[in-house]
Amino acid sequence: MKIRVGVIFGGESVEHEVSIITAIQAMNKIDEEKYEIIPIYITKDREWYTGSMLRDIDVYQDLSLIKKYASNVVLYYKNGSYILQKKNGLFKSIVKEIDIAFPIVHGTNVEDGVLQGYLQTIGIPYVGPNVYAGVVGQDKAFMKDVWAAANLPIKNYTWFYDSDYRQNTDDVLKKIKKLKFPVIIKPATTGSSVGISVCKNEEELKDGIDEAIQYDSKIVVEEVVENLKEVNIAVMGNYEHQKVSEIEEVLSSNKFLTFADKYISGGKGKLKGKMKVPVKGPSKGMASANRKLPANLDDEVREEVERIAKKAFKVLGSSGNSRIDFLIDEDDNKVYLNEINSIPGSLAFYLWEAKDISFTTILDDMIKIGIKDYKKRVSKTHSFESNILEGFAAHSGVKGKLK
């Protein structure tokens, strides 16, 4: 009997379209001899839909087709099963049952522990990071604080809230000026290089902050690595065991890999307005970005990247398949952690394929880890059978009846 895998994607996120690309890539590669694939698409207005049509990328060019032909559903626990049930209609029939959820989501409101929290609340097994790892993996301020506490190598940084900046602009700027220019400004909880700026002086700094504040209430500022070589590596596993992929060197004409580098330059997309979203035309997601694979690194630096990647993954309590981005100063070959992508674009399959591990195998491994994580989770004590409220009213002076 096949394991029924509910692949969840989309959501209210600026990386909504990126999630669709990654999910469709994955659904095309999941082993259908072992798994029944059930697509579950979350619209930008947070409605859930399922239907085989959702595996076709062309459907998303006209979202009215989804609302017309796919089933609008809710996912919940009922009588020992996890079901997708129609929201509308006279009988609100059950559309599908699923055995395990596979979130392939990017960005705020989905990748950041929010979706994982819902899945864990209803008790369904799921693939990838848990709530805690999702939070710190999405929030660059939390992430850097945790890595700094673990004495992992990161560039000097600071972070602040948008309200701090509006109310005490001079104090925030004074704190930032303790860093060495140029600096890079990032919204703390977005991904795919949305809202990021490199600033060489105070005037550019203010523009960069204004840009970042459009996307987030928490802003991270850190020193730029000069003579930069940017490399990425994927880590597979959980807190107990980790293995690493091949290392890639990112090639970009910009100071950092932009949204366009990641999701548009390899396809036929265009930039649409300030938001920079892909429109009409195929995309291979992160798999289409310019890169050198494997990266040109000497053995000592390569081993250091692999060692730090495993530790950084473990310290954050991540699970599944993450991509960790590094910054290397080529003058002294010093390695710095940049950030983790808990559910990376394209699931970083190309980094594993460079080690002759197929995308299908990666997905199979991720599902197996998700099942193991679930078994460990349910083996722990999370509640007690005793009810401390029994007799509470009689001894506490609380009177009255429940209405």
Q: At residue 369, what are phi and psi to the nearest 5 degrees?
A: -65, -40
**Does residue 388 belong to any structural domain of this protein?**
no
Residue 150 in any domain: the answer is: no
33 and 84, same structural domain? yes
pLDDT of residue 392: 65
Mean pLDDT per block of 10 residues along the chain (403 residues) reads 97 93 97 98 96 95 91 95 89 90 94 96 97 96 97 97 96 95 92 81 92 94 94 98 97 57 43 35 58 95 98 98 97 95 96 98 98 94 75 60 51
Residue 274, classified by CB atoms within 10 Å of its CB into exposed (0-12), middle (13-18) or buried (19+), is: exposed
Structure tokens of 371?
């099942």
Question: Is 31 domain-assigned?
Answer: yes
Q: What is the CATH number of the domain that holds 50?
A: 3.40.50.20
From edge to edge, which strands make up the β-sheet containing 218-223? 157-161, 218-223, 183-187, 197-199
pLDDT on residue 102: 98
* Residue 401 domain flag: no
Question: Cα–Cα distances in Å, from 161 out to 182, 192, 376?
Answer: 21, 21, 37
Tell me, what's the pLDDT at 268?
38
The answer to whether residue 176 is domain-embedded is: yes
User: Last residue of some domain: 184, 205, 223?
Assistant: 223
- Report the first-to-last Cα separation within the chain, whole angstroms: 47
Return the residue matching tokens 């559903």: 73
Residues 77 and 160 in one domain: no
Q: Are residues 105 and 179 in the same domain?
A: no
Answer yes or no: do 190 and 236 share one domain.
no
Q: Are residues 199 and 318 in the same domain?
A: no
Same domain, 17 and 91: yes
**Residue 173 belongs to domain with CATH number:** 3.30.1490.20
- Shared-domain flag, residues 371 and 230: yes
The pLDDT assigned to 108 comes to: 87
**113, 132 in Cβ contact below 8 A?**
yes
Residues 164 and 246 grouped into a single domain: no
Question: Looking at the domain assignment, is residue 64 inside a domain?
Answer: yes
Identify the pLDDT of residue 266.
46
Residues 202 and 186 in one domain: yes
237 and 317 belong to one structural domain:
yes
- Give residue 254's pLDDT: 56
Domain that holds residue 83: 3-126
Q: How far apart are CA 388 and CA 403, in angstroms?
A: 21
- In this structure, the answer to whether residues 333 and 215 fall within a common structural domain is no
Q: Is residue 17 part of a domain?
A: yes
The verdict on residue 85 lying in a domain is yes
The CA distance from 376 to 370, in Å, is 10
20 and 114 fall within a common domain:
yes
Task: Give the count of domains, the chain.
Answer: 3
DSSP annotation of 181 reads S
Q: Output the pLDDT for position 88.
A: 82
Domain boundary among 178, 204, 223: 223
What is residue 338's predicted lDDT score, i.e. its pLDDT?
A: 96
